[in-house]
A = this chain, B = another copy of it.
Amino acid sequence: MKLTEAKQQFISSWGAFGTQWGINRTMAQIHALLLVSTTPLTQDDMMEELSISRGNVNMNIRELIGWGLVDRVIVSGERKEYFTAEKDIWKVATQIIKERKKRELDPMIKLLGQLENIDGDKKDKEVQQFTQVISSIKKLGLQADKTLDVMIKAEENWFTGSILKMFK
């Protein structure tokens, strides 16, 4: 496979993959494009490469910056803004994990904590079963939270040689 073809394949697949995980297709594609681009790109470059509108590029680029996956780059002597993506995949992964944890896992755990405390007879089978399900989901959430923290701190270890190495 030729490089150009491979790049396009990657960009389109990364987009499709993203949608399965609740990420906007274009956002994933812009990210992919920047990942495999050797130099920083302007919004016009991305419009051209992905055949999308200016507004679309702009919105998704800002979203990616919000996720901490893309940075603005100043190119001296240039009026236009350039953008670049973090190329270290481990950093990309930890950044995504951190953000999703903050945006989704943490609020869910908070909610479950509230639902744990039901008014009424604690001996009631209905109440018991509900509380039991909610508590175990919260417990799982807390555990995932803890484990992800370890993983984030573990940095390269997890990536290169599995978390097992940490305990050897």
Contact = CB atoms under 8 A, between A and B. Distances in A.
Nearest to A7: B130
Going nearest first, the 7 A-B pairs with the smallest beta carbon separation are A167-B167, A22-B22, A89-B136, A6-B115, A20-B22, A21-B22, A89-B140
Interface residues of A, number: 54
Interface secondary structure of A, over-half rule: helix
Nearest to A140: B89
- Interface core residue of A108, A127, A150, A163 (most chain B CB under 10 Å): A163
Interface stretch (A47-55, A63-71, A72-80, A118-126): A118-126
Contacts of A9: 111, 115
A54 B93 CA distance: 41
A64 to B, nearest CB: 16
A58 interface: no
A17 interface: yes
Contacts of A19: 22
